[in-house]
Amino acid sequence: MKVLVIGGGGREHAIVWALRRSARVTEVVCAPGNGGIAQLARCVPVNQKDLDDLLQVVSAENPDLTIVGPELPLSLGLVDELERRGLRVFGPTQAAAQLETSKAFAKEFMQRHRIPTAHYAVCTSEAEVKQAIGLFHAPLVVKADGLAAGKGVVICQTKEEALETAAGIFSGKLLGSADTKLVLEEFLEGEEVSFLVLCDGKHVAPLVPAQDHKRIGEGDTGLNTGGMGAYSTDQLIDNQMRDWLLTHIAQPVVDGMAAEGAPFRGILYCGLMMTPRGPMVLEFNTRFGDPETQAVLMRLESDILDAFEASIDGRVSETQMQWRPGASVCIIASSAGYPGSFRSGLEITGLDRAAEVAGVQVFHSGTALVEGKYLTAGGRVLGATAAAESLQQALALAYEALGTIHFDGIYYRHDIGHRALKL
């Protein structure tokens, strides 16, 4: 089977790597891919912001299956167009993807379907923010409504800071482009958990849980990023909690989307806060997370192609994904200055030595392969990912691999998994 993967980050590298382990996959093409993916798949150029260009690549490659990795092509309606053409594609439609592409839609959807989430207010102007802010205590959270590459959520310690953040979102100063809507939200305390489920429009099946580290600084300090690391262990949630999450969050989302005429197929990522009041949804993503995917897929023992096809064919209730016991971790190495401005084109060395560390895979996020050399080509450059019997062992392996890799200004957190180690 020929499979086309859309995207070029660490998530897509992990998906390509998992597909390459399937006996039924004969060829993998990735658009646009990156330097690391180029070692496993044929990479072809594409403008992920241009629907016509994406469709031209699919038409030219004529794959048996297309997997859409990032959120932007989903927001453009790529899945809708491919389904109209009778092609097999993994991912949600444009309408179903609103759970991620509009924070306001997601909050109002949860309210309609009684899915637990934080108290909120949707605002379309600074005047509305000033009026609504009196309903909240500080700290509070300001969220841009649209896609923001993981950087559209700001925790504000004071109401004055929240007003300034809102002004920056509306003006475009904060994210580079103006948003016409935002969400004010109460600040929730507790442990965050990433709970991913496979969906076919009617049924859901859980993947192993993970915990992401969004902040750039150690001790979970500093600016939010696309994710500086993630780990997965079964201890994050027990079987009773997993069943509760399926019954009270994941299944109601799928039932609600079907009732509203937008059946959800693909991966539903439920970003949860485990609060003293119980689990609450912080956000939804409508695709695999990054870097959670790298950690999660390191534990997958069954054929990932079976899961993709079950989602498309409505057979998720019959699917039994098999998972490696123990733990896994992905630690992101980023460019100096990220999530602000950073340099690209810096040579990366030591990848060959990192590959020699048993139990480790290095998934590339922002790299390019130029004349036989790997160069940095993004803020998050790569992720050392390891699986082992315990989290401590997995962390030791990942950090050992990272210690062999170098590029000018390389930065990574040394405390990934710190919360789990304190439990």
φ, ψ dihedrals at 242, nearest 5°: -55, -45
Q: What is the pLDDT of residue 153?
A: 87
R_g of the chain computed on alpha carbons: 20
In a domain, 106, yes or no: no
Domain final residue pick, 156, 186, 216: 186
In a domain, 108, yes or no: no
Q: What is the pLDDT of residue 180?
A: 85
Q: What is the pLDDT of residue 320?
A: 87
Residue 410's CATH number: 3.90.600.10
| Whether the predicted pLDDT of 222 surpasses 60 | yes
Among candidate residues 12, 8, 32, 17, the one with its CA nearest the CA of residue 360: 17
| Whether the predicted pLDDT of 64 surpasses 80 | yes
Residue 32's CATH number: 3.40.50.20
Q: What is the pLDDT of residue 150?
A: 62
The tally of domains found in the chain comes to 4
Segment among 143-157, 276-290, 331-345, 401-415 with least mean pLDDT: 143-157
Among candidate residues 309, 414, 380, the one with its CA nearest the CA of residue 1: 309
In a domain, 167, yes or no: yes
| Whether the predicted pLDDT of 175 surpasses 90 | no
Co-location of 133 and 178 in the same domain: yes
User: If 0-12 CB within 10 Å is exposed, 13-18 middle and 19+ buried, where does residue 173 land?
Assistant: exposed
Chain mean pLDDT for the chain:
95
Q: What is the pLDDT of residue 419?
A: 76
Please state, in angstroms and rounded to a whole number, the distance separating the CA atoms of residues 403 and 397.
Answer: 10
Residues facing 11 on adjacent strands = none
In a domain, 97, yes or no: no
- Name every residue whose Cβ is closer than 8 Å to that of residue 292 and which is 6 or more positions away in sequence: 194, 196, 210, 212, 227, 230, 232, 269, 330
| Whether the predicted pLDDT of 120 surpasses 70 | yes
Residue 311's SS3 state is helix
Q: What is the pLDDT of residues 3-42, one digit of tens each?
A: 999 999 999 999 999 999 999 999 999 999 999 999 999 9
Co-location of 377 and 333 in the same domain: yes
Among candidate residues 248, 307, 299, 205, the one with its CA nearest the CA of residue 114: 248
In a domain, 393, yes or no: yes
Q: What is the pLDDT of residues 76-86, one digit of tens each?
A: 999 999 999 99
Please state, in angstroms and rounded to a whole number, the distance separating the CA atoms of residues 188 and 141.
Answer: 9
- Name every residue whose Cβ is closer than 8 Å to that of residue 361 and which is 6 or more positions away in sequence: 14, 17, 294, 298, 385, 386
CA distances (Å), origin 50, targets 30, 79, 177, 200: 16, 14, 18, 27
Q: What is the pLDDT of residue 112?
A: 97
Residue 243's CATH number: 3.30.470.20
Can you say whether the dihedral through the CA atoms of 79, 83, 85, 89 is positive or negative? positive
Domain final residue pick, 318, 341, 363: 318
Co-location of 129 and 223 in the same domain: no
In a domain, 15, yes or no: yes
Structural domain of 46: 2-91
Residue 304's SS3 state is helix
Co-location of 219 and 301 in the same domain: yes
Co-location of 313 and 331 in the same domain: no
Place of tokens 């048996």: 64
| Strands 153-156 and 367-370, bridge-based pairing | unpaired
Residue 128's CATH number: 3.30.1490.20
Q: What is the pLDDT of residues 334-379, one digit of tens each?
A: 999 999 999 999 999 999 999 999 999 999 999 999 999 999 999 9
Co-location of 134 and 225 in the same domain: no
Please state, in angstroms and rounded to a whole number, the distance separating the CA atoms of residues 309 and 355.
Answer: 31
Q: Alpha helices of 113-158 — where are they, by DSSP H?
A: 126-132
Please state, in angstroms and rounded to a whole number, the distance separating the CA atoms of residues 214 and 212.
Answer: 6
Quote the tokens at residue 62. Answer: 């004529």
Co-location of 230 and 158 in the same domain: no
Neighbour tally for 176: CB within 10 Å: 9
